[in-house]
Amino acid sequence: MIDVTLESVSKRFSRAGDTAAVDDVDITIAAGEFFTLLGPSGCGKTTTLRMVAGFYFPTSGRIRFGDQDVTRRPPNKRDTGMVFQNYALFPHMSVAQNVAYGLKIRKVGRAESKRRVEEALSQVHLAGYGERRIDQLSGGQQQRVALARALVIRPRTLLLDEPLSNLDAKLREETRVEIRRIQREAGTTSLYVTHDQAEAMAMSDRIAVMESGRVRQIGAPQEIYHRPATSFVARFIGRSNVLSLPVLGAGPETVTVRLPDSSQVGVAAPADHGLATGGTALVSIRPEHIGLTSATEPGVVTGRVTELEFTGMSTNLLVDVAGEAVQVAAVDPPAGIAVGDQLGLRLPRERMWLVRP
Ligand code: ADP
Ligand code: MG
């Protein structure tokens, strides 16, 4: 069942002719789904979320909740719960008063309100914290209060705008697991905003990758990781090499390219690749999928190590291949490998994927 629909939604903030902050966005979110808007700062994530919340109205396009058109409906008539980046808690009120706020506005009675506040606080593992003041809580606890405040009204849709960005790295990872647990238990359709690709991958059922106000790709994390639509998506999600290679032949699902060692290889490509013989293909391959070898055989290109860093999990190399810098992540590199060494890189064709510019 489709819960939230954005149909050709655009937002311009001022004079006609300005570039759109959100440009012709189409998204459908299924009931109970955890859906994430991911992209760099300024790409239009918050603006999109605020249009779903009703804080902004689109310049054009439609927003639907189920079969109801909510495009111009005010925020308090939308049945959404929002968690803001800075939490937006009332510092002079107790935890319980903060959480009860939405219920008070909705004129829920005292006894019912008390019960639901307790329930929401135990949902976020803050049972017994009701009488504390906000400034007596850690950042992570404040974040949970903000989540409880959004959940207590039992919203049809939960909207979260970079809710973890004020937490340190370790707590951020713990809290993202927590948010996902709470969301799953409550079954609430959720629209989540982050610029952190690891967070998006770990949490989401599906992700929309945004760039310059536009959605570049929508898909499950695995799909976006392994079959990125554009070179931007390939580079923004994880790390990726995007090689420009001459096209020797182009079929509907495979494009044959020439590797720097002059060998030919057929690369899987989306049906709408639009390439022809004589053109240049952009082929992405992940650093962890490139093998190091001393063998010389077709599909092995040679290069010179220009940078090397040990991260614990892998050794990251930058290898100069005919003037192009290729990233390699080797779990088990040859002993004694050093900057300046000549190396063979095996580029497995099954790990290559053709992307659009
Ligand atoms: P993100 O959340 O992805 O960082 P935003 O949605 O906040 O991006 O912003 C998208 C673009 O819209 C940016 O160029 C930003 O400067 C612009 N913008 C956002 N809010 C406003 C506003 N209230 N008035 C004018 N421009 C805005
Ligand atoms: Mg934002």
Ligand 1 pocket, residue 19 CB under 6 Å: no
Minimum CA distance residue for ligand 1 atom 11: 21
Which atom of ligand 1 is closest in space to residue 13's alpha carbon? 25
Ligand 1 pocket, residue 57 CB under 6 Å: no
Instruction: Name residue 276's amino acid.
Output: A
Q: State pTM to two decimals.
A: 0.93
Which residues lie below 8 Å from residue 265, measured CB to CB, with a gap of 6+?
Answer: 256, 257, 259, 299, 347, 349, 352
Whether 215 contacts 26, CB under 8 Å: yes
Q: Ligand nearest 208 Cα, by number?
A: 1
CA 141 to ligand 1 center in whole angstroms: 28
CA 100 to ligand 2 center in whole angstroms: 26
Which atom of ligand 1 is closest in space to residue 50's alpha carbon? 6
Ligand 1 pocket, residue 21 CB under 6 Å: yes
Residue 351 is predicted with a pLDDT of 94
Which residues lie below 8 Å from residue 275, measured CB to CB, with a gap of 6+?
Answer: 247, 250, 255, 269, 281, 354
d(CA 289, CA 249): 24
Place of tokens 């012709």: 24
pLDDT in tens, 176-223: 998 999 999 999 999 999 999 999 999 999 999 999 999 999 999 999
Residue 19 is predicted with a pLDDT of 87
Which atom of ligand 1 is closest in space to residue 47's alpha carbon? 6
**Which of 12, 13, 197 has most ligand 1 atoms within 8 Å of CB, for mutation?**
13
Q: What is the per-residue DSSP string for 325-345?
A: EEEEEESSPPTT--TT-EEEE
CA 161 to ligand 2 center in whole angstroms: 7
Q: Residue 116 is encoded by which pair of tokens?
A: 């639901």
Ligand 1 pocket, residue 46 CB under 6 Å: yes
d(CA 26, CA 23): 9
- Provide the pLDDT confidence category of residue 18 given band limits of 50, 70 and 90: confident
d(CA 196, CA 169): 12
Which atom of ligand 1 is closest in space to residue 162's alpha carbon? 2
Structural domains in the chain plus CATH codes:
4-228 (3.40.50.300), 239-355 (2.40.50.140)
pLDDT in tens, 251-284: 999 999 999 888 899 999 988 899 999 999 999 9
**Which of 23, 41, 47 has most ligand 1 atoms within 8 Å of CB, for mutation?**
47
Minimum CA distance residue for ligand 1 atom 26: 13
Percent of the chain's residues with pLDDT above 70: 99
Burial of 280-309, coded b for 16+ CB within 10 Å and e otherwise, reads: ebbbbbbbbbbbbeeeeeebbbbbebeebe
pLDDT in tens, 61-77: 999 999 999 999 999 89
Residue 17 is predicted with a pLDDT of 65
- Provide the pLDDT confidence category of residue 298 given band limits of 50, 70 and 90: confident
Q: Ligand nearest 15 Cα, by number?
A: 1
Burial of 255 (0-12, 13-18, 19+ CB in 10 A): buried
Which residues lie below 8 Å from residue 53, measured CB to CB, with a gap of 6+?
Answer: 75, 78, 80, 82, 159
- The CA distances from residue 221 to 202, 205, 268, in Å, are 8, 7, 19
Helix and strand element counts for the chain (H, E): 8, 20
CA 58 to ligand 1 center in whole angstroms: 13
pLDDT in tens, 20-61: 999 999 999 999 999 999 999 999 999 999 999 999 999 999
Minimum CA distance residue for ligand 1 atom 15: 42
pLDDT in tens, 130-154: 999 999 999 889 999 999 999 999 9
Minimum CA distance residue for ligand 1 atom 1: 42
pLDDT(356) > 80 = yes
Q: Which residues pair with 30 in a beta bridge?
A: 2
